[in-house]
Amino acid sequence: MREHRRGMTWGVASILLAVLVAIFAVSFFLAPDASEGDESFAGTDSTVTAILEERGIEPWFTPIFEPGSGEIESGLFALQAALGAGLLGFALGNLHGRSASRREQAEPTPPASPGPMPAE
């Protein structure tokens, strides 16, 4: 009987993880050095905003709340990632638990199951 593969194997997963790391490692090595006075790896969003400001475009509305500094902002970004990761972990863990308990429930049902039945 052909073996049925469910999901991916650990080998494939680790290769893909290595590819993931390699993509960013290559980026670091190939990236041109930032020109004088510019931050290296500046965010594209802020780069575009800077270009628009240079062209004299003034925002006509300002954010209701602005994080006081770059430190506070990165903290809030970390909070966003943490909340997302927490929820993602909870959801995946919950699904994992559900499928595990379903398998457990499914196992004792075959009539040929060994061991004494408590009702008999």
- Binding site residues, another protein, CB under 8 A: 1-2, 4, 6-8, 12-13, 16-17, 19-20, 23-24, 26-28, 30-34, 40-45, 47-49, 51-52, 55, 57, 59-67, 73, 76-78, 80-81, 83-88, 90-92, 94-96, 98-99
Residue 31 Cβ vs another protein, minimum distance, rounded to whole Å: 4
Q: How far is CA 72 from the centre of its chain?
A: 22
Residue 91 Cβ vs another protein, minimum distance, rounded to whole Å: 4
Nearer to another protein, 28 or 119 (CB): 28
CA distance linking residue 66 with residue 73, whole number of Å:
8
Residue 117 Cβ vs another protein, minimum distance, rounded to whole Å: 23
Nearer to another protein, 19 or 119 (CB): 19
CA distance linking residue 23 with residue 29, whole number of Å:
10
Nearer to another protein, 62 or 113 (CB): 62
CA distance linking residue 14 with residue 22, whole number of Å:
12
Cβ neighbors of 76 (< 8 A, separation 6 or more) are 67
Q: Measure Cα distances from 51 to 32, 58, 71, 94 in Å.
A: 20, 11, 24, 46
